[in-house]
Amino acid sequence: MKKRVVITGLGAVTPIGIGAEKFWQALLDGKSGIVPITRFDASALATRIAGEVTDFDATQYIEKKETKRMDRFTQFAVAASKMAMADSGLDLEAEDCDRIGTIIGDGIGGMETLHDQFKVLFEKGPNRISPFFVPMMIGNMAAGQTAIALGLHGPSTCVVTACATGTNAIGDAFRIIERGDADVMVAGGTEAAIAPAAMAGFCSLKAMSTRNDDPDKASRPFDKDRDGFVMGEGAGIVILESLEHAKARGARIYAEIAGYGSNCDAYHVTNMSPGGAFAAKCMQLAIKDAGLKPEDVDYINAHGTSTAVNDSSETEAIKTVFGEHAYKLSISSIKSMTGHLLGAAGGIECIASVLTVVNDIIPPTINYETPDPELDLDYVPNKAKAKTVNVAISNSFGFGGHNATILVKKYQD
């Protein structure tokens, strides 16, 4: 029989707050984390704003010497994982760490390290490249360094599925526990891509908002006047445990993860399939996996990027799956506040979904000012809403057609 899987720890590094509690309160307050870019001179770019993590001090979580051997995306992951582990109350000295694994993904990897070391290469030559260049840059180091920091010897992998990464990582970790290959998994996503090359690339795609003079209003999912996404950075990590393991140690249980869906559009490198057809099938997979019906779902944490194609396709997909029940659902996009954290988006959005289920309060979609007549669902505009939420799903859709949906529900023994 499949094992039940519960969530017992949360760790977040986000543009609107560090730590799950600060992150959650900022969501309820409708706080925007979008600011003018300070990490480099962005004056030549069409988009000069982003969701920066401005108050992060890696040395609060990692020995100073070690921080210099980690790219920013890895620092975020290790910090968020340590927060989540502390929140879970797990005593690792008393645990069998062969049964605790790590799946932490990222969409792009060490962009800052890549940029800095290529500059060294071109200006000073190959002999000046850092010996830590490769292990700082490669994407699996978020999972690897976290496992090293915590002493975890169970399954350890890195998921890279663009913007679906965080959700796929949590879903894959869910499967590992469900089939009995681990008792505990540290899972989620991390990203630190506010760097010249990544920003320039997305600008060339014309995918990002250019509301540089009004950053607070730039990310506006589902609004008629949306003009593109806003880059964000950070990490979202959750601790998953088998129910029997959590109960045996008397853990505080936030919620149960009950369903997971993953598929591919196989349509286009950047655009979703027409009408969000395979996004709809992905949601259906997660709902079926949980043994539920569409009408059991109360809330959708939408992918909601603030791009014209994504928001309309996701809305169509929701209508396909839920029919008339779509108009009873509450839907919101926290990207309106955090920006789009790419590989980390699914991690922080899982945390938001879990806390929605725990607290029966739905975070808003801020900057929803002008309704789009074609997008006519309840996007929880501008203010948080109290509502009983027994079941929530969180969607993530990535370049390459990668789709992922997880379903969380209130825990009942």
Catalytic residues: 163, 303, 340
- Side-chain half-sphere exposure of 127, counting CA atoms within 13 A: 0
- Say if residues 174 and 5 touch (Cβ distance below 8 Å): yes
- Say if residues 408 and 292 touch (Cβ distance below 8 Å): no
The candidate with the shortest Cα–Cα distance to 235, out of 410, 102, 357, is 102
3-state class of 293 per DSSP?
coil
Q: Strand pairing of 299-301 and 391-398?
A: parallel
Round to whole Å and give the CA distance between 340 and 197: 17
Return the CA Rg of the chain.
20
Tell me the helix, strand and coil percentages in the chain, rounded to 5.
40, 20, 40
3-state class of 151 per DSSP?
coil
Cα separation values, 63 from 17, 85, 133, 149, 366, Å: 22, 17, 19, 10, 38
User: Looking at this protein, which amino acid is placed at residue 349?
Assistant: E
Read off the tokens for 392: 């929530």
Round to whole Å and give the CA distance between 350 and 299: 12
